[in-house]
Amino acid sequence: MKGYFITIEGPEGAGKTTILSIVQQELLKKGYDVISTREPGGIDIAEQIRSVILDKKNTKMDSRTEALLYAASRRQHLAEKVIPALQEGKIVLCDRFVDSSLAYQGHARGLGIDEVLSINEFAINGLMPSLTLFFDIEPEAGLARIAKSNSREVNRLDLENMNFHKKVYEGYLKVAERFKERYQKVDATLPLEAVSKNALEIIESHLNCN
């Protein structure tokens, strides 16, 4: 495929959405053909699946159902938006992708990283990002940012206990180690300007070297 598939990962409140928007604007100014999107969501069917997964009322959702719904939304998003954009040679910046499933469902929910990767292989059919930025921040600090923000609605996953969020973080460290060839850590505790500058530098260097 001609384009670049770049994903942003990290715990709740790490700043992924905020920085992704700044970085996209900077890349557009520099003349790059770049789109941004998110998981779960990004297109209508996947946004509908997102509503089901994240609805606070759905307290009975089984962990395997949750993993399968994320994988289903992922497939539709790839088929309808990501793959066509890559075929047109665009840079696709995606807020979360399969590594979120590995950290949240695989490690934190206890389904197993290998098992969750295996159900996702059917969904992604070989398409993996060439670069993943891991926004590194302890869960307590990320959740404190969300608690302060009045523009971000609290969802079903946010309401999990601190032990769950610590496991998510631990899961990410395992996933980053496993896929170290595409992983780059960004210190997400720094001020916004520093985080966006660092993220932009990593992305541009990847675009120039590949």
Ligand X SMILES: Nc1ncnc2c1ncn2[C@@H]1O[C@H](COP(=O)(O)OP(=O)(O)OP(=O)(O)O)[C@@H](O)[C@H]1O
Ligand Y SMILES: Cc1cn([C@H]2C[C@H](O)[C@@H](COP(=O)(O)O)O2)c(=O)[nH]c1=O
Task: Map residues 121-140 to x or -, x wherever contact with ligand X holds by CB under 6 A.
Answer: --------------------
Residues in 148-187 at the binding interface with ligand X, rule: CB under 6 A = 149, 152
Query: Edge-to-edge strands of the sheet including 131-136?
Result: 34-38, 91-95, 4-9, 131-136, 183-187
Nearer to ligand X, 84 or 162 (CB): 162
Residue 100's binding partner among ligand X, ligand Y, none (Cβ under 5 to 8 angstroms by kind) is ligand Y
- For 2, counting Cβ atoms within 10 Å of its Cβ (0-12 exposed, 13-18 middle, 19+ buried), the class is exposed
Site for ligand Y in 54-113 (CB under 6 A): 70, 96, 100-101, 104-105
Binding residue for ligand X, selected from 9, 12, 66, 99, defined by CB under 6 A: 12
Cα angle value 42/46/50 (rounded, 5°): 100
Name which of ligand Y, ligand X, none residue 157 binds, using a CB cut-off of 5 to 8 Å depending on partner kind: ligand Y
Q: How far is the CB of 149 from ligand X (least distance, A)?
A: 3
Residue pair 196/24 in contact by the 8 Å Cβ criterion: no
